[in-house]
Structure 1
């Protein structure tokens, strides 16, 4: 069995400000660093062979905090980056909603109808993330690894594994910062063992 522990990066400055991030980046907040350390403590007894991350600074920061003192390689890959949001990136959500209300509504509520002038569709991300997931599982067969990525990519992975329709893209657990999702592949079949879990957050 191949087990992939998947998480979203910790809270960032732009998350707090309500900005669309996409391929652009902002650093983790102090809380974001703590969230990553909480997950690191939860995974302390898990035998991981490696940590994989997108090439964005916020995921690499998160991966480093989760790793802590463990001697694990962190392998970055551009294919795990967040959805390309084109001209929306770095913009405040309320500004985007005001200027492009229909497309903004489709982005959050009608994924199959979201068609950007510049950037990626949800189907683009599902194909990109699904292809990369299969490559990762093949290269790490029989191992347990950690993948640090982004909210839309996480949802795309779940859509791929569960063969969801585009209309159901946002269904299921909300992907909070450093929430934990576990995907398993055995005998050529994928299974979602855990989705968007945050029990490592202090109560």
Structure 2
């Protein structure tokens, strides 16, 4: 039996967008799901229809909101928006590919690639600020729903931070885990912190979901 203080969390990354395909940094730009992403959201919704969820939260950006809307409809729950679940803001980098960023600002691209926790593109967030914001938002939701089972639909960067929080990994540690579009990740939250239960489950999708982190993103970038 689950301890009454434990919150079970389905942490879900949004479905695919055209900019995922092009490896362009989305950040706070509101890029919608493409046709593949909409199909991923549909399959995701079918796969979680039997989950005993009590609440569903999502980022206010449309790629996460559309994915979460499909889940909410499948389980018959209202959808709540939390801006704390937004992707990291990348400021001047948004809309550009890593190669374009590297060509324009090679020194900044290196700091980003090395996961400097204090680095922020002009007008954007550094990793420390982003981590505190998104992990803090999920922690607050988990504490609000202690003993329940909730879904959180957000972005690759948010998933990365949750993985690190649950695995007790430093922000500057290289990433070795996947963050597939419309993937399901399972965590527990107790007052002591997050615990990882399962990661990057894509069994509900046909074929591998596109992983936009195949380039610089595997070195520490999020979109």
Same fold flag (TM > 0.5): yes
CA contact 1:106–1:113 (8 Å) conserved in 2: no
Other structure's SS at 1:177 match? coil
Q: Which 10-residue stretch deviates more, 12-21 or 70-79?
A: 12-21
- State the match for 2:62 in structure 1: 57
Q: Does 1:74 align with 2:79?
A: yes
Distance in 2 (CA, whole Å) between partners of 1:99 and 1:61 is 33
Residue of structure 2 aligned with 1:151, choices 149, 156, 173: 156
- State the match for 1:198 in structure 2: 202
**Structure-to-structure mapping, 1:181-196, within 5 angstroms:** 181-186=185-190, 188-196=192-200
For normalisation by structure 2, the TM-score amounts to 0.83
In structure 2, the CA distance between the partners of 1:3 and 1:156, relative to structure 1 (3 Å rule), is: same
Residue of structure 1 aligned with 2:141, choices 129, 136, 157: 136
Per-residue Cα deviation, 1:40-99 (whole angstroms, up to 9, x for no partner) = 222121111121001101111111123344321110011110101001112233222211
Task: Structure 2: state its 5+ residue gaps.
Answer: 1-5, 208-223
Q: Which 10-residue stretch deviates more, 190-199 or 1-10?
A: 190-199
Other structure's SS at 2:75 match? coil
- State the match for 2:42 in structure 1: 37
In structure 2, the CA distance between the partners of 1:108 and 1:178, relative to structure 1 (3 Å rule), is: farther
For normalisation by structure 1, the TM-score amounts to 0.91
- State the match for 1:116 in structure 2: 121
Residue of structure 2 aligned with 1:11, choices 8, 16, 34: 16
Distance in 2 (CA, whole Å) between partners of 1:187 and 1:135 is 11
In structure 2, the CA distance between the partners of 1:187 and 1:153, relative to structure 1 (3 Å rule), is: closer
Q: Which 10-residue stretch deviates more, 98-107 or 73-82?
A: 98-107
Q: Does 1:104 align with 2:112?
A: no
CA contact 2:55–2:79 (8 Å) conserved in 1: yes
- State the match for 2:181 in structure 1: 177
- Cα RMSD (Å): 1.8
Residue 122 of structure 1: CA displacement?
Answer: 1.0
Distance in 1 (CA, whole Å) between partners of 2:201 and 2:116 is 23
Residue 187 of structure 1: CA displacement?
Answer: 5.8
Per-residue Cα deviation, 1:27-52 (whole angstroms, up to 9, x for no partner) = 10110011112222221211111210
Residue 199 of structure 1: CA displacement?
Answer: 1.8
